[in-house]
Homo-oligomer: A and B are copies of this chain.
Amino acid sequence: MNRKRNTTLKELAKELGLSISTVSRALNDHPDISTETKESVKILAAQMHYVPNMFAKGFRSQKTNIIGVIVSNITHLFTSTILKSILEEAEIRGYRVIISESNNNEAKQSEMLTTMSQFGVDGVLMSLARKTTYVDDALRILNRMPLVLFDKVSSKIPCTQIVINEEEAAFNAVEHLIGLGKKRIAIMKETENSYNSEKRYAGYLRALNQYGLPVDEKIILSTEDISLVQGKRLANILLSMKNRPDAIFAITDNAAIGAIKALNKFKIKIPEEIAVVGFSNSINSTIISPTLTTVDQPGDKIGRTAVKYLIEEIENPKNDLLTKTVEIKTNLVVRDSSFKA
């Protein structure tokens, strides 16, 4: 079949008996052009369904109005919520978005950065792949365009970073458990020292210290992949102890839900015998029984803030490299898994 080509400035110009320059200016509301000319040009443009070719435009002006976004896994609700707000906020500000997934693969992530650069995006938003150690590509990108990190960040990359108040959020969660009278609070965290896991662990320790509770290594559990299955497994370990904990703080909802499933199986009363608190406020936290107390991370706000800072840097390139860290406040959502009946 024969595809129609898009209408071009040239065709409009020919049709109107004007020059391409004039048509271009008329469409862009240049003050030099007379109102009547503008009028007639716009009418014909609408009639012929003229849409400017953004490639030509961006190519010419060295500005594409495209933002590149790199995340590890788009199917995580937290991630897709952030993406949704990025799409919305970017669109409001006149930018389009190209999304890539690294799948937590560092090599892939580097490759995506290169691709972004090929496409001449005006800036990049990125949440780092787990265990990212090689940051040279990110640094090279940073030399060419603004880069803003969010959620999974790294101090090795001197750029604006948008995070939640991880430490404080964890502190609040544990403090809440202490407020319920819990004295032996286990934690389920990640083995490797991801930014997020480390901060949450720090908040846990601070809460115990501040309220004079002993820190017991035996109930500080770590796992590589902090998933539902691992939550179950770790909960079973806790249940097998003579000196069981009376509360569990899991640094992800999935692990917390796995723990609840394990506790339910053994008919442990939640929260009376063991209270459980998660982190993320995923949908599942309202589906599980009992419903899960958890930290709500405002993905929406994270996305919008990241876009705001990135576009600010794109449009005001005068600023020097700034390593600003922006903390977004979270909220503890108390539900049945920790509610003192």
Interface residues of A (CB under 8 A from B): 1, 3-6, 49, 51-56, 58-59, 64, 66, 73-75, 77, 80-81, 83-84, 87-88, 91, 96-101, 114-115, 117-120, 140, 143-145, 257, 264, 283-284, 287-289, 317-321
Asked if A77 meets B74 with Cβ closer than 8 Å, knowing A55-B120, A98-B96, A144-B4, the reply is: no
Cα–Cα distance between A2 and B117 once the two chains are bound (Å)? 17
Closest Cβ of chain B to A235, distance in Å, is 15
Complex partner residue of A257 from B74, B96, B143, B287, CB under 8 angstroms = B287
Q: Is the CB of A74 within 8 A of B80?
A: yes
Complex partner residue of A58 from B5, B55, B144, CB under 8 angstroms = B55
Query: Which residues of B lie under 8 Å from residue A118 when comparing CB positions?
Result: 51-54
Q: What are 12 A-B interface contacts by the 8 Å CB criterion?
A: A1-B319, A3-B145, A3-B317, A51-B118, A54-B119, A55-B55, A55-B58, A74-B74, A96-B119, A97-B98, A287-B288, A289-B289
Known: A51-B117, A75-B84, A77-B77. 4 other contacts (CB 8 A): A51-B114, A66-B98, A97-B98, A99-B99
Cα–Cα distance between A110 and B257 once the two chains are bound (Å)? 41
Q: Is the CB of A87 within 8 A of B114?
A: no
Cα–Cα distance between A221 and B52 once the two chains are bound (Å)? 48
Asked if A140 meets B49 with Cβ closer than 8 Å, knowing A1-B319, A77-B75, the reply is: yes
Query: Which residues of B lie under 8 Å from residue A145 when comparing CB positions?
Result: 3
Complex partner residue of A80 from B75, B100, B264, CB under 8 angstroms = B75
Cα–Cα distance between A97 and B118 once the two chains are bound (Å)? 14
Q: Is the CB of A59 within 8 A of B55?
A: yes
Asked if A119 meets B6 with Cβ closer than 8 Å, knowing A81-B75, A99-B99, the reply is: no
